[in-house]
Amino acid sequence: MVEDLKGKIRVFCRIRPLSKSELARRSQCIVHFPDEYTVIIKSSRGAKEFQFDQVFNCSTSQEEIFRDTNRLIQSAVDGYNVCIFAYGQTGSGKTFTMIGEKEQANPGIIPKAFKRIFQIIDENQTKFTFKVLAYMLELYNDQLLDLFINRCEGSTTKLEIRKDKKGFVYIHGAEIKEVTNAEMLCALFEQGCKNRHTAATKMNTESSRSHLIVGVTIKSTNLTNGTVTYGKLSMVDLAGSERASKTGAEDEQLKEANSVNKSLSSLGDVISALSAEQSFIPYRNNKLTLLMQDSLGGNSKTLMFVNISPADCNAEESISSLVYASRVKLITNNAQKNSESKEIARLKQVSRAFGNLAAYHMESVGASSTLLVSQEEKESFP
């Protein structure tokens, strides 16, 4: 209940331990945590203090992180649109937080969320029936790619970002897989990760210069009263936020870095416009902001992780990430459950079979016109 009342985007800050290379360079830890909501960073320009919904220090385990994220997975199964994303410079711990280490050691939020979805489903098998669908995308050099399709095999389908009548973002042309258990979803995800672009930069030998977007939609039907709810869980591992000059990238890598910078600065513009409550929000400036438009300022429960390094050599990037994240904290979303009565759900099914005829019938039984099934809705929840 309390969770439902919170309209603000929540922001969690996570500081990773000093890395081997930072220790080898004799880097100093300049980050302090006076309490679980505050982070202080001391740089040559003085001390700066930031406050977030939660601050996780370098010894926080993946389990503890998930304990605080868990409730959002329940919300997605309950019929809410939920988005969890990680922001920060390359090497700050975004992928560690979202995915975990290689070979599923120390799993992060995404694999844990997959397990949790099916745990909740198992616990509610007697009261509901469920249908779970997943898609997995990469935004690389301003191009949207389907990670459920092996690039070597080629794909001719053009992916388009669209919005349905309820404001849900969905991807026209994306491969959508129905999944029936967590193992199946994890296996699909691992296969998808192998289809990603990666390039080595000075910042991180295995850094990804692309954004990763994983979407899981959950349709549940209440067996007692027939009410149908649709939830969507989007999990996004953003590419690194550092400026191109610092990474030592050249040619192709410079192009990648510029595209990443452009998308993250568009995201910054959207965040600024939303936090200043402007009437025009520039979602259309970039594919990343189009993709995230139902998560930022939309009908969504959104959680942002801002990941930072504790080292003095990264002070500037860490401060800029914390300033960015502080603005996100000001945004208010309007999260609403996506549900419809048994009669409307039944008529939608009929409508799928008979097209306009059933839509006409829905009107005649007094269904709200916004609930008339559209082509777009059919595609987002096949």
* Binding interface with ligand ADP (CB under 6 A): 16-17, 19, 88, 90-96, 101, 204, 207, 240, 307
Identify which of residues 69 and 95 has a Cβ nearer to ligand ADP in the complex: 95
Identify which of residues 93 and 298 has a Cβ nearer to Mg ion in the complex: 93
- Position 17, amino acid: P
Identify which of residues 238 and 270 has a Cβ nearer to ligand ADP in the complex: 238
> By Cβ distance, which residue is nearest to Mg ion?
95
Identify which of residues 101 and 122 has a Cβ nearer to ligand ADP in the complex: 101
| Three-state secondary structure of 65-87 | HHHCCHHHHHHHHCCCEEEEEEE
**Cα dihedral sign, 182-187-188-190:** positive
Q: To which residue do tokens 């193992």 refer?
A: 183
> By Cβ distance, which residue is nearest to ligand ADP?
93
Least distance between Mg ion and beta carbon 47 (Å): 29
- Contact of residue 100 among Mg ion, ligand ADP, none (CB under 5-8 Å per partner type): none
Strands (DSSP E) contained in the chain are 10-15, 31-32, 38-43, 46-51, 54-56, 81-87, 128-140, 143-146, 160-163, 169-172, 177-179, 211-222, 228-237, 301-308, 339-340
Most distant CA pair in the chain, distance: 74
CB 124 within 8 Å of CB 132: no
Identify which of residues 63 and 101 has a Cβ nearer to ligand ADP in the complex: 101
Looking only at the bridges linking them, the beta strands covering 128-140 and 177-179 are antiparallel
Binding mask 70-109 for Mg ion (x = CB under 5 A): ------------------------xx--------------
Least distance between ligand ADP and beta carbon 213 (Å): 15
Identify which of residues 16 and 287 has a Cβ nearer to ligand ADP in the complex: 16
> Between vectors from CA 166 to CA 163 and to CA 171, what angle results, nearest 5°?
25
Long-range contacts of 270-275 (CB under 8 A, 24+ apart): 270/296, 270/297, 271/296, 271/324, 271/327, 271/328, 271/331, 272/327, 274/330, 274/331, 275/327, 275/328, 275/330, 275/331
- Contact of residue 266 among Mg ion, ligand ADP, none (CB under 5-8 Å per partner type): none
- First-to-last alpha carbon distance for the chain, in angstroms, is 30
CA atoms of 134 and 355, how far apart (whole Å): 26
- Contact of residue 93 among ligand ADP, Mg ion, none (CB under 5-8 Å per partner type): ligand ADP
Least distance between ligand ADP and beta carbon 96 (Å): 3
Looking only at the bridges linking them, the beta strands covering 54-56 and 10-15 are parallel
Least distance between ligand ADP and beta carbon 33 (Å): 14
Identify which of residues 96 and 381 has a Cβ nearer to ligand ADP in the complex: 96
Identify which of residues 239 and 335 has a Cβ nearer to ligand ADP in the complex: 239
**Residue 295 burial by CB count (10 A; 0-12/13-18/19+): exposed, middle or buried?**
buried
- Contact of residue 307 among ligand ADP, Mg ion, none (CB under 5-8 Å per partner type): ligand ADP
Least distance between ligand ADP and beta carbon 125 (Å): 35
CA atoms of 234 and 76, how far apart (whole Å): 9
Is 60 an interacting residue with respect to Mg ion (CB under 5 A)? Answer: no
Least distance between ligand ADP and beta carbon 206 (Å): 7
Least distance between Mg ion and beta carbon 310 (Å): 17
- Contact of residue 88 among ligand ADP, Mg ion, none (CB under 5-8 Å per partner type): ligand ADP
Neighbours of 5 (CB within 10 A): 7
The interface with Mg ion within residues 192-211 (CB under 5 A) comprises: 208
Least distance between Mg ion and beta carbon 27 (Å): 20
Q: Give the interface with Mg ion as residue ranges (CB under 5 A).
A: 94-95, 208
